[in-house]
Amino acid sequence: MITSFKPADTHEPSGENPFLKEYTTPFGVPPFSEIKAAHFLPAIEKGIEEQNKEIEAIIINKQQPDFENTIAALDYSGSLIRKVNSVFGNLNSANTNKELQGIAKQIAPMLSAHNDNINLNPKLFEKIKTVFDKRDKLNLTGEQMRLLTEKYKDFVRGGAALSGEKQERFRQINKEMSVLTLQFGENVLNETNDFKLVIENTDDLAGLTPSLIEQGAETARDAGLEGKWVYTLHNPSIMPFLQYSAIRSLREKIYNAYVNRGNNGNKNDNKSLILQIVTLRLEKAKLLGYESHAAFILEENMAKNADNVEKLLMQLWEPALKRAGAEARELQAIIDREGGNFTLQPWDWRYYAEKLRKEKYDLDDEELKPYFQLENVKQGVFTVANKLYGITFTERKDIPVYHPDAVAYEVKEANGDHIGILFMDFYPRESKRGGAWMNSFRKQYIQNGKNISPVITTVCNFSKPTATQPSLLTFDETSTLFHEFGHALHGLLSNSTYYSLTGTSVPRDFVELPSQIMENWASEPEVLKMYAKHYLTGETIPQELIDKLQNSRYFNQGFETVEYLAASFLDMGYHDLKEISFTDVSEFEKKTLSGIGLIPEITSRYRSTYFNHIFSGGYSSGYYSYIWAAILDADAFEAFRVNGLFDKETAASFRQNILSRGGTEDPMILYRKFRGADPDITPLLKRRGLLEE
């Protein structure tokens, strides 16, 4: 029976807290139907108590500090906190409510203080340093040496070497930021949910496709507005509306609502939060001896420093901006030709780009979507994974899920051995934040010789099925599904020992390699013929449409690259500051983007006030990671192009050297082991059509 998470009141419910006993569910997945909101806080408190005892046991151990009794013991500690927080964090992202959001604001400072108590414990740090100082004499494996080195660095970066007064300020900063970043994300979700574009006149539906009109009617019915049409700021609603609506004033209205989320001077306004967050981040970095937050973050990434990031971004920015300018002129020419007496604006871009795509390539999303039924695309990624790695995916209806939309799969090796569990959750709802992501309810690791199998989740926001048709994806959404599935493989195929190093526990600019390389298979003609079937007839996508897709692969790449890079520059603008000299977030954003020459027809993919990646997620000073990893994935996929899309040896090498290794070795070393050389940027420039002819 499928069960779903239904939060109860926050008073302690009767019965035993499910977090405080062994799960009896299949494969030990969380028993969502048993978990109530009131269970989280007591379980976190118990987890803190237990880990404090584990830390104390390490400290009072009379034996000489060594890898097992200090480093490994520390890594295995805190299992109850991980157990509880993984469930809480996933639910607060994918199925939240006011109750959970309130609990989050209690839990965040508690965990911040607890982590600081560990990182700033002088006796514990002394033991870690003792082991670190004699590391070359301990005959450690490569993975053990990596864990020791990372733990030592974590403590130094966590303030262990600071003096008492500075440590207290360090604690306060972490506590404040834990709440501020939560509030930022909550505000964005509120702003996204609060806006509805209500259409009452059928004339105002001009240009919209039949499926989009039906979607709007169903959204209206769900909102109690029978007989009207409603469009929202969730991507499956706003993006096709901007693409097809012929009513310019409505495009402008919904677009401005989208780009001004968190910037409306109301209770959800994020500007003061941004100023507080960047100020605290800089202060923390300076306490640790870094000149900027970016310097602190990038030291641990492949990029190493802000200069390298800037160099990469500029290498792409100039050709992308040139191409985007040419694209803008083409769109303006259509406006002029049609007698439009106005200059192209950001809310016009998608509408006229769609016209241009039809004109140039005789291709539009409505022609493609019938071949990309969600169920078929899902089977497509399963087939690709099976052909590459021999693994299989079997739906399990006996496994509890946290929401009725989520589906559970057991993942097995070719020989039938259990690998892990994969949840997939595809549709938007008000309890789910926007975007798409992968996370884990349990990571893979090995303890006492026993392999702990992973429980992974992928979450997306695709259009729901309507009364007359199933969920049909655009090709961009299809690529998103492949992308998140690549992250899932990184978590599922992990084969490492220590929790801190397994799965996606890698630098931000490496973590996107497994996800982005998967996108390549989505558009390969051989693969399209495997999964792209018409949802009504079962007909395989015709070669003519595949040719159109291939021919249009460079289309709008200037726009897409420029809007992404602009957001990357904005991220670095905030976080490479050596001093906070601005007080007006809007002015700072405007100055930063005009400074790089962003053309007025294009808006940064994320404006500051809804830039969840950097102000509520883990991508501060790291949004560039997607393009850094794009260099890796374009170069890595060349190995499959040369050897064969499903070449077993190449796939085995990618699994062995990238997917299974997590953070057990320096990522560039892992990459070289797979590719045999450093990555080359040329395949990426070629793929995006940015090479000079």
Instruction: State the amino acid at position 597 in one-letter form.
Output: G
Instruction: Extract the runs of DSSP E, i.e. beta strands, from 406-545.
Output: 407-412, 418-425, 437-442, 445-447, 450-452, 455-459
Of the CA atoms within 13 Å of residue 104, those in its CB half-sphere come to 23
Strands 445-447 and 450-452: antiparallel
Nearest to 350 by CA among 214, 213, 258: 258
Q: How far apart are CA 597 and CA 509, in angstroms?
A: 25
CA 540 to chain centre: 31
Residue 270 phi, psi (nearest 5): -105, 0
Cα–Cα nearest to 581, from 294, 275, 184? 275
What is d(CA 657, CA 634) in angstroms, rounded to the nearest whole number? 17
Q: 544: how many CB neighbours lie within 10 A of its CB?
A: 10
Estimate the share of the chain in helix, then strand, then coil, as percent rounded to the nearest 5.
60, 5, 35
CA distance 571 to 627: 14
Q: Which two tokens stand for residue 79?
A: 């299992």
Element (H, E) at 198: strand 197-199
Distance of CA 312 to the CA centre of its chain: 21
Residue 44: exposed, middle, or buried by beta-carbon count in 10 A (0-12, 13-18, 19+)? buried
Q: Strand pairing partners for 230?
A: 198
According to DSSP, the residues that pair with 450 across neighbouring strands are 447
Closest CA to 476 of 239, 685, 192: 239
Q: How far apart are CA 135 and CA 148, in angstroms?
A: 8
Contacts of 243 (CB under 8 A, 6+ apart): 350, 351, 353, 354, 365
CA distance 511 to 518: 13
Cα gap 394→382, rounded to integer Å:
10
- Within 8 A by CB and 6+ apart from 645, the residues are 521, 524, 526, 527
670 in the Ramachandran plot: left (φ > 0), alpha (ψ -120 to 50) or beta? Answer: alpha
Which of 176, 194, 193, 183 shows the shortest CA–CA distance to 281?
176
DSSP per-residue letters across 258-288: HHTTT-SSSTT--HHHHHHHHHHHHHHHHHT
Closest CA to 250 of 214, 207, 200, 197: 197
How many helices (H) and strands (E) would you count in the chain?
Answer: 27, 9
Q: Is the Cβ–Cβ distance between 571 and 611 less than 8 Å?
A: yes
Q: Which are the catalytic amino acids?
A: 484
Distance CA 573, CA 293 (A): 11
Residue type, 659: L
**Which DSSP state fits 69?**
I
Whether residue 10 contacts residue 103, with contact meaning beta carbons closer than 8 Å, is answered with yes
DSSP string for residues in 390-430: --EEEE-TTS--SSTT-EEEEEE-TTS-EEEEEEEE----T
Per-residue CA distances from 108 to 89, 103, 154, 548 (Å): 10, 9, 19, 50
